[in-house]
Chain A
């Protein structure tokens, strides 16, 4: 097209038009810098918001259905309290769904109802409406059954943890207590996303679990600081055996360099260089260099020789063969730390009493010779381990930590009196470890007094609650337990609306509003609309403020972005004004040759738009590569600053590395649009150039 043909030449920078070219190059540069910054900023905020949202909805489900007061006070819900066949207790939605009879009340068996008892809500046939069944029918009608749902319960509890830690300078373990008011929320095994939030079990967890295995657990409900009792060796051994059944490839770092020689140290025929300290003809101490080349302490008192096995007994023979004596039971020192691989077979444990005496058979190399020895566990640290957390099907004896089958997460259940709980990872940062025990306490109202109830719990793992106002205080545990707590503390429930109901998961968060509407419609159609309220995560009390903040932040930043873009694009405006003054004669010639005013406007609009587009492209490409390397960039900046640039609790452990599609779309549309507008105004001016200007002689 002729307009492009002309505009193309105008856009190529020329020496003759230095100032015009300079302005053009500057404006492209400024636009690309602005686009780059905006894209980075929007992508990062967008990515962080997505991470937050995904954590929020993984934990709390994107949509919840809450029974309304109308449900709670309905005949359908209340009648269970008056019916012997319901054991005089109300039932949950799922229990109601499973129940075969809609109306459990029988006039012959049950007491008569009070006169103020709510009237039953009946359908056209005069039958009592089965609200729960209708609810689940409505859910199954939406989204072709792809919705996953489960009940949830929440309750407020007081968490008390007893932290038993090894104290290195004294024999008695140190003990401390941690108290925290918490929200207990039900851990839903049906949640498809909880899996991603759970922190995998780590080697520190295992060490602590082994350490705690040596203690009796019976006193964890007691507040008086009893000294933590050692447990019996048989219990300890069985606990260790349980723990080790779920780990593989244990390697340990043997820190302490002294041990007592006990066979089997090595095979027959292996000779190790050793130095013996002999006092009154007896070996007092043996020194083993870790590598054969290492220079050992030279001392008059040390006798150089070899350590070998003779008739399954360890003997030390001096180099001049003058000294030959059994070395079994001799205190031996190795001059360096050594790495050992432990056997996780039960037959390779050795213990006389509790944790302190726990030894494990480990093998490694000294002086390039294979050795194996019993090392005291307390002198070892785990250097690497494979902890089994993913199972193909339900394990016969579940591990001590949360485990996964496919994409579903499960809490361990040890069948004991204590219940596993998952803590937010902030607890971990505050020194709580997997295996720590304690109790949760809640008040149960009796006619005369408030009774404190305690339930024994242990920490089985940690999860990432994301950024939530209550997130750092929300513990996850078995839903049934919470239900029994919230029933006895009903008068103190946090928020009637949020204390129980159904949570619903689905794949695509962008469909949230639609699914919410569909559910509402389905409920209305089934005639149970007034009994249930459908909430999306935008409505959750604990998330509402944050999400609104996100939205308004986004709008604000977008607005600021547009303003900056306008400023950047205003360069185009001055560039075009200058260029048009420069090209007045040419415009006149084109007009004289028949170019319409539209064509002239178009030519200069193209100039403006293409500068904008060029800047936009350069900025977008730079932003793409910056985002790809954003984490190393942040790391570098953090090094320069000497502290972490982004607060991990807020921004997540790593920044998003993808350009946000929405931001890119916004920039790719807004920048050329604004620059075109900036170009059109001078272009109109250009079209007003009188063609007769060409006839004026120079």
Chain B
């Protein structure tokens, strides 16, 4: 059987303040290449926390996280985030003072890869911008881009270091329907074409409908929805 890109086993997250609360009780989740997963749930149900834990941004109270069959160690999370996971945020989080192209290249810079003009990585970034349809905006400062453009650049950035897993937190939460649709298509397209695992936390039923699997996070447990 194929090893999952990411496998979460009995993930539990408890908050102790103000009063003890088991936000996540026992989460088990496997993500395979080319598979897209949507997680829906009410606000405050712990969707974002789950995504943080899956993306190694937070540590679970108990349970194990395996990436490519290997247990995640705390001293490796920087490298894992940089090389294996691409994040897409609801409010884009581009670095405003940099151009679209520079934003795309930041994960490569963090990985100390040569990003000079003419380098492999530079070409790849331009190619990614082309694929998300923002090549003509490559040298625009991020603060001068529209919301839809920002999210496309953010997708290109998430793909920069060719990660195996893409985590998206309400990627179209701040966008109008038309833009949302395009973003949805892009995300699904990249997951399928580039062999990525994709987890999307969303309220958007259309987007959820596009995914291979849909889960509802309720009372700290994941329920599969058909």
Contacts and interface: CB of A to CB of B under 8 A. Distances in A.
A691 interface: yes
A226 interface: no
A597 B77 CA distance: 11
Interface in B95-139: 95, 97-98, 106-107, 109-112
Interface in A506-564: none
Interface in A594-633: 594-597, 599
Nearest to B160: A593
Contacts of B195: none
Interface string B63-102: 0000000000000001111110001011101010110000
A30 to B, nearest CB: 26
Nearest to B86: A593
B91 A697 contact: yes
Contact of A692 (B57, B90, B91): B57
Contact of B107 (A594, A690, A691, A695): A594
A698 B52 CA distance: 16
A696 interface: yes
A695 B169 contact: yes
A594 B110 CA distance: 7
Most interface-central of A590, A592, A596, A698 (chain B CB within 10 A) = A592
B51 interface: yes
B149 interface: no
A133 to B, nearest CB: 72
A29 B14 CA distance: 50
A14 B161 CA distance: 31
Contacts of A594: 78-83, 107, 110-111, 161
Given A592-B57, A592-B81, A593-B87, A2 B52 contact: no
A585 interface: yes
A5 B173 CA distance: 31
Contacts of A597: 78
Nearest to A596: B78
Contacts of A589: 89, 93, 95
A223 interface: no
Given A592-B55, A592-B81, A690-B57, A697 B170 contact: yes
Given A594-B81, A594-B82, A697 B90 contact: yes
B109 A2 contact: yes
Contacts of A1: 112
Interface in A663-698: 690-692, 694-698
A2 B170 contact: no
A9 interface: yes
A694 B89 contact: yes
A586 interface: yes
B91 A698 contact: yes
A8 B120 CA distance: 25
Contacts of B91: 697-698
Given A590-B110, A594-B110, A695 B51 contact: yes
A599 B161 CA distance: 18
Nearest to A589: B93
Contacts of A593: 81-82, 87, 106-107, 110, 157
A600 to B, nearest CB: 10
B45 interface: no
Given A692-B52, A694-B87, A595 B110 contact: yes
Given A594-B111, A695-B169, A585 B93 contact: yes
B179 interface: no
B185 interface: no
A6 B169 CA distance: 25
Interface string A447-467: 000000000000000000000
B213 interface: no
Interface residues of A, number: 27
B52 A599 contact: no
Contacts of B93: 585-586, 588-589, 694
Contacts of A692: 49, 52, 57-58
Contact of B57 (A2, A14, A691): A691
Nearest to B107: A593
A14 B106 CA distance: 22
Nearest to A588: B93
B204 to A, nearest CB: 14
Contacts of A2: 106, 109-110, 112
A606 to B, nearest CB: 15
Nearest to B51: A695
Given A9-B97, A593-B107, A594-B110, A695 B89 contact: yes
Nearest to B173: A697
Interface string A87-117: 0000000000000000000000000000000
B28 interface: no
Interface in B21-62: 48-49, 51-52, 55, 57-58
A586 B97 CA distance: 11
Contact of B98 (A9, A588, A592): A9
B150 to A, nearest CB: 13
Given A592-B57, A594-B79, A696 B48 contact: yes
A595 B111 CA distance: 8
Contacts of B89: 589, 694-695
Nearest to A599: B110
B105 to A, nearest CB: 9
Contacts of B57: 591-592, 690-692, 694-695
A695 B52 contact: yes
B69 to A, nearest CB: 21
Interface string B153-179: 000010001000000011001000000
Contacts of A595: 78, 82, 110
Contacts of B169: 695
A187 B90 CA distance: 90
A589 B112 CA distance: 17
Nearest to B96: A586
Contacts of B112: 1-2
A14 B97 CA distance: 10
Nearest to B163: A594
Interface string A1-32: 11001100100001000000000000000000
Nearest to A593: B107
Contacts of B173: 697
A690 B49 CA distance: 13
Contacts of B98: 9
Contacts of B79: 594
A469 to B, nearest CB: 64
A690 B161 CA distance: 22
A572 to B, nearest CB: 21
Nearest to B92: A589
Contacts of A5: 109
Contacts of B97: 9, 14
Contacts of B55: 592
Contacts of A9: 95, 97-98
A512 B70 CA distance: 68
A690 B112 CA distance: 23
Nearest to A9: B97
Interface in A178-219: none
Nearest to B53: A692
25 contacts: A2-B112, A5-B109, A585-B93, A589-B93, A590-B106, A590-B110, A591-B57, A591-B81, A592-B87, A593-B81, A594-B79, A594-B82, A594-B83, A594-B107, A595-B82, A595-B110, A596-B78, A691-B81, A692-B49, A692-B57, A694-B87, A695-B48, A696-B48, A697-B90, A697-B173
Given A692-B57, A694-B89, A695-B48, 4 more contacts: A6-B95, A593-B157, A694-B87, A695-B169
Interface of A: 1-2, 5-6, 9, 14, 585-586, 588-597, 599, 690-692, 694-698
What are the 10 tightest A-B residue pairs by CB atom distance, in nearest-first order? A594-B82, A2-B109, A594-B81, A692-B57, A692-B52, A596-B78, A589-B93, A691-B57, A695-B48, A9-B97
